[in-house]
A and B are shown apart, each in its own frame.
Chain A
Amino acid sequence: KNEVEQSPQNLTAQEGEFITINCSYSVGISALHWLQQHPGGGIVSLFMLSSGKKKHGRLIATINIQEKHSSLHITASHPRDSAVYICAVISPPGNQFYFGTGTSLTVIP
């Protein structure tokens, strides 16, 4: 069973498009992470959030605790945004980490 589900699995967009990646989870959480994994394999933490909304540049992350759902939005997408975006949650009481399988994004010039 997957505690964290992401959609879509794969996404292709034209440069400039607004992109949304969704994450649903089935466990109680203390925090949710959005991570970016580059084609070379490196991982960067984009956001950690437990409520509301966070914005960093063209990236926006929202979370709805009641609905157990989070979204990652990318405005004015660019080819350099091409990567795998991973949702991960921390679940108490033991603070176990659960990862989604990732959304592979390709932005075409």
Chain B
Amino acid sequence: EPEVTQTPSHQVTQMGQEVILRCVPISNHLYFYWYRQILGQKVEFLVSFYNNEISEKSEIFDDQFSVERPDGSNFTLKIRSTKLEDSAMYFCASSVQGMGQFFGPGTRLTVL
């Protein structure tokens, strides 16, 4: 069964460093998403991406964040100059139009 994969499963970084979280969506999916979940809190939407551009972003997704689909398979989330409050689980998801989303297993980001 096709699945969304994410790497790494756990990333530890120092405050101020840049991190790139990677996702491989399901191959025929066209819509891609990033979410985050701070420990003990609800899931929050970050950004959606379609046709090689951002289609929607939340107020959390500020200039510190960027997304890219550098090739035909990967979908990345870059966080520049990480802050302590960026520590969270980051989930990637993908979908086809009009269908439910398939979620990846998440990357736990710890900023020290």
Closest chain A CB from B69 CB (angstroms): 19
Q: Which of B43, B56, B99 has the most CB of A within 10 A?
A: B43
Query: Considering the chains assembled together, what is the distance between the CA atoms of A95 and B89 in angstroms?
Result: 23
A86 to B, closest residue via Cβ: B43
Chain A interface residues (CB < 8 Å from chain B): 33, 35, 37, 41-48, 86, 88, 94-102
Chain B interface residues (CB < 8 Å from chain A): 33, 35, 37, 41-45, 48, 55-56, 58, 89, 91, 93, 99-103, 105-106
Closest chain B CB from A10 CB (angstroms): 14
A95-B91 contact, Cβ under 8 Å, with A42-B105, A100-B42, A101-B42: no
Query: Considering the chains assembled together, what is the distance between the CA atoms of A101 and B91 in angstroms?
Result: 16
- Interface pair B58/A43, CB less than 8 Å apart: no
Cβ contacts under 8 Å, B55 to chain A: 95
- Interface pair B100/A99, CB less than 8 Å apart: no
